[in-house]
Chain A
Amino acid sequence: MATEVGPTPVKAPASGGTPVHHGPKGVGEDNKILSQGKWATWLLAPTIIALAVVIVYPIISAIVMSFQKDAGLDPATGLFTAGGPAGVQNYVNWIAQQCSAPAGGTVACPPGTLGSQFWSATATTFFFTVVTVAFETVLGFWMAMIMARTFKGRSMVRAAVLVPWAIPTAVTAKLWFFIFAFEGIANKLFNTSILWTGSEWPAKWAVVIADVWKTTPFMALLILAGLQMIPAEVYEAAKVDGATAWQRFRLITLPLVKPALMVAILFRTLDALRMFDLPYILTGGANNTTTLSILVINQIRQGFNAAAALSTITFIIIFLVAFIFVRFLGANVVEQSGATGKGKK
């Protein structure tokens, strides 16, 4: 959570943020708290340093790299030479789908280059995000409603639901790869001969189905946690007042579960925006299933600096989506948990 902004919350209490909060408690305690703040800083320092090394440094170096040219070939020796500064050229190349021309300068990227796939990869990424998250929300909600009831073997069901989520994505992807093979179970079961991984829409749906199968349990559990925060008395009172099941769902369940639901949707959306291993293994990115993350990995094999620019663009896209969620849709991870806490009291 606080990884990115690590230094800010830590410094705040030390420099007096906390004492103000506890102000009314008396002068004597102020010093104590101040020293506690210092103490906290010291205790947190190793973590902050570790995070800075493994997270902040790579991000900064990726951004620095994204302004460098990729290595070119010296025609005389056949050896690579360092590219030098590129300004914003890498970014422009991606967004305008420009590739280097053999004669110098740039041309529109010919089909078959990674550069020509930027916008289609962006569209594919958003398609997967919207469709999978929509399915997962509806199915997850339904599963959570079932799990929230009391019935025999409920703990068994809850544990069983977690299985798809517990399997590593790469394994899931391989599993569905075999299911969707031409001679695979999917075609045998429905007596069809669909080329699941060989044509555009079946390939896209194959990815959607596998992803929904895998991550709906995650959604269901987050929503279940939200559902269980709703006190049973509210429902009882509504029942006494004669509210129908639909009214109870619309007027009680939905508004009260909304904070948990929004957080769940936010998490899944951000996750889906960087989807990589599932389509990579299932379809190899063929038939318009190349997501931005797949494009980044493919580009890394061809040139690091252009890949750094692309990953920065992806980062910005994810950031913007998160921003919209938090600012306009009320998916406020920290504050909402405080609000529900108040509600419970």
Chain B
Amino acid sequence: MKTPKFLLPVATAGVLALTLSACGGGGGGTTGGGGGAGGGDAANNLDGRGPITYVQGKDNSNVVRPLIEKWNAAHPNEKVTFKEQTDQADQQHDDIVQHFQAKDASYDVVDVDVVWTAEFAAKGWLQPLKDKMAFDTSAMLKPTVDSATYKGTLYAAPQTSDGALLYYRKDLVPTAPKTWDEMMGMCSIAKENKIGCYGGQFSKYEGLTVNASEAINSAGGSVLDADGKPSLNTDQAKAGLENLAKAYADGNIPKEGITFQEEQSRQAFQDGKLLFLRNWPYVYNLATTEGSSKVKDKLGIAPIPGKDGPGASSLGGHSLAVSVYSKNKATALDFLKFMTSEETEKFYATQGSLAPVLGSLYTDATLVKKLPYLPVLKTSIENAVPRPVTPFYPAVTKAIQENAYSAIKGEKPVDTALSDMQKSIESAGAGS
């Protein structure tokens, strides 16, 4: 095995660099080849019935399996197979992308994160839910439906939702602040008690996109306008991002806040080190039941504060979409209806603490007894703004994260950060 000398570096570098090139090449494929809104794959198999596959991330709270067993018992000829993915959102996304690119008919119904809907729809992978495939969303909360809609067409059925809540210390703050300024005014209480005032998720990751968009939306601004164009050069957007930057500079957001993700911020609040915390509903259960929690009986919940009233939460959650390549779309549609029925939604809420998309359930007495945050969460979701609905979401979230992070840390003025954000998003939309 005598290799010519000049080839050695090739071989050595080759082996070690392979992963890289393979990754770059692995995605491959053509985009946009699929069916448009009317024709192509989207017009096929609309009456198809038979067994289908449902794809979703890890079923952590074991809610999906019982539901599928129930469906299978009732539909022996149209059985559903559950394909469970990892619990990493990025990997779920990439797995779905790979199957769609290969026009794989074995992924019939997929669970899509609200921020993926536009991208998948624009690639022509999701069956538009109209005409024969029409799906009734009238009982669902509007922002959840908006998050499943792209260019005026519904592409997915909202299944679960999620909105931000403001947790606060009842023992130190008698009434929850309604506006941001009011909340900042209460930070002197935090100083007297030698704790941090406000915590959110400000580490540079998806959570920062959520927090920064919330700040901008709550101040009356918006990241994208109705046409999907960035609209960050406004006074409202500036006021919103400045709220965060100023709070960090003043120390109202503690110094370590810049490293917080969901869990670190929850931990800090549970340890009694924060007066206010912006986080998702999951915190409620943990903070009131975990043995180590120091705020068990002192926990108040309120909608996040805005400019003159409740702020605009970013919307989380998942929807169900039918693949355009599915062979059994009629069955898939029935399954969508089953998985978003009132009964299912109730089961999700009680078993998995997953926020329903049906407005009526938020006032359901038995549910509220079990999940006392539901009425507050309803306000949060009703006022929520979906994160930017755009097929270029990965580039948009990157632009928001990078620039908001610099602005909050005080590395660049809020004005510059916003105009950079604006330009970055424009450039992403222009294609490369």
Binding site for B on A (CB under 8 A): 1-5, 8-9, 12, 55, 58-59, 61-63, 65-66, 69-74, 77-83, 90, 93, 99-102, 104, 107, 109-115, 181-183, 193, 195-198, 266-267, 270-271, 273-274, 284-287, 293, 296-298, 300-308, 310-312, 314-315, 318-319, 321-323, 325-327, 332-335
Instruction: Report whether B10 and A61 are in contact in the complex, using a CB–CB cutoff of 8 Å.
Output: no
Instruction: Report whether B12 and A315 are in contact in the complex, using a CB–CB cutoff of 8 Å.
Output: no
CB closest residue in chain A, given B205: A284
State whether the Cβ of B134 lies closer than 8 Å to any Cβ in chain A: no
Instruction: Report whether B432 and A306 are in contact in the complex, using a CB–CB cutoff of 8 Å.
Output: yes
State whether the Cβ of B339 lies closer than 8 Å to any Cβ in chain A: no
Which residues on the A side are within 8 Å of B99 (C-beta)?
Answer: none
A328 CB, nearest partner CB in chain B, Å: 11
Bound Cα distance A5, B395 (Å):
38
Instruction: Report whether A77 and B13 are in contact in the complex, using a CB–CB cutoff of 8 Å.
Output: no
Instruction: Report whether B3 and A315 are in contact in the complex, using a CB–CB cutoff of 8 Å.
Output: no
Which of B29-37, B105-113, B173-181, B293-301 faces chain A? Answer: B29-37
Instruction: Report whether A59 and B25 are in contact in the complex, using a CB–CB cutoff of 8 Å.
Output: yes
CB closest residue in chain B, given A338: B2
Q: A102-B426, A195-B256, A311-B23 are in contact. List 5 more A-B contacts (CB 8 A).
A: A5-B10, A111-B420, A311-B25, A314-B20, A333-B8
State whether the Cβ of B204 lies closer than 8 Å to any Cβ in chain A: yes
CB closest residue in chain B, given A10: B1
Which residues on the B side are within 8 Å of A71 (C-beta)?
Answer: 31-32, 431
24 of the cross-chain contacts (CB-CB < 8 Å) are A4-B11, A58-B18, A59-B21, A77-B37, A90-B432, A93-B432, A99-B427, A112-B403, A113-B395, A181-B264, A195-B256, A198-B409, A270-B12, A270-B17, A286-B204, A297-B23, A300-B27, A303-B432, A312-B24, A314-B17, A323-B9, A325-B9, A333-B12, A334-B1
Bound Cα distance A312, B377 (Å):
48
Instruction: Report whether A308 and B25 are in contact in the complex, using a CB–CB cutoff of 8 Å.
Output: yes
Instruction: Report whether B203 and A197 are in contact in the complex, using a CB–CB cutoff of 8 Å.
Output: yes
In the complex, the 3 A-B pairs of residues with the closest C-beta atoms, listed nearest first: A62-B25, A311-B24, A4-B14
Instruction: Report whether A111 and B428 are in contact in the complex, using a CB–CB cutoff of 8 Å.
Output: no
Instruction: Report whether B20 and A315 are in contact in the complex, using a CB–CB cutoff of 8 Å.
Output: yes
B385 CB, nearest partner CB in chain A, Å: 20
Instruction: Report whether B12 and A110 are in contact in the complex, using a CB–CB cutoff of 8 Å.
Output: no
Instruction: Report whether A58 and B13 are in contact in the complex, using a CB–CB cutoff of 8 Å.
Output: no
Instruction: Report whether A198 and B256 are in contact in the complex, using a CB–CB cutoff of 8 Å.
Output: yes
Among A59, A82, A115, which residue has its beta carbon within 8 angstroms of that of B18? A59
Instruction: Report whether B405 and A286 are in contact in the complex, using a CB–CB cutoff of 8 Å.
Output: yes
CB closest residue in chain A, given B421: A112
* A80-B124 contact given A58-B25, A113-B428, A284-B204, CB 8 Å threshold: yes
Instruction: Report whether A335 and B5 are in contact in the complex, using a CB–CB cutoff of 8 Å.
Output: yes
Instruction: Report whether A195 and B259 are in contact in the complex, using a CB–CB cutoff of 8 Å.
Output: yes
Which residues on the B side are within 8 Å of A332 (C-beta)?
Answer: 5, 8
Which residues on the A side are within 8 Å of B8 (C-beta)?
Answer: 322, 326, 332-334
Instruction: Report whether B26 and A58 are in contact in the complex, using a CB–CB cutoff of 8 Å.
Output: yes
State whether the Cβ of B399 lies closer than 8 Å to any Cβ in chain A: yes
* A62-B22 contact given A80-B122, A266-B12, CB 8 Å threshold: yes
Instruction: Report whether A4 and B10 are in contact in the complex, using a CB–CB cutoff of 8 Å.
Output: yes
Bound Cα distance A203, B36 (Å):
46
State whether the Cβ of B402 lies closer than 8 Å to any Cβ in chain A: yes
B19, B31, B93, B403: residue with the most chain A Cβ atoms closer than 10 Å:
B31
Among B13, B121, B402, B428, which residue has its beta carbon within 8 angstroms of that of A322? B13
Bound Cα distance A286, B395 (Å):
16
Instruction: Report whether A80 and B391 are in contact in the complex, using a CB–CB cutoff of 8 Å.
Output: yes
Which residues on the A side are within 8 Å of B280 (C-beta)?
Answer: none
* A80-B32 contact given A4-B14, A70-B432, A274-B16, CB 8 Å threshold: yes
* A79-B124 contact given A112-B420, A326-B8, A334-B8, CB 8 Å threshold: yes
Give per-residue flags for B45-73: 1 if the beta carbon is below 8 A from chain A beta carbons, else 0. 00000000000000000000000000000
Instruction: Report whether A274 and B20 are in contact in the complex, using a CB–CB cutoff of 8 Å.
Output: yes
State whether the Cβ of B392 lies closer than 8 Å to any Cβ in chain A: yes
Among B3, B5, B150, B398, which residue has its beta carbon within 8 angstroms of that of A9? B3
Which residues on the A side are within 8 Å of B395 (C-beta)?
Answer: 113-114, 302
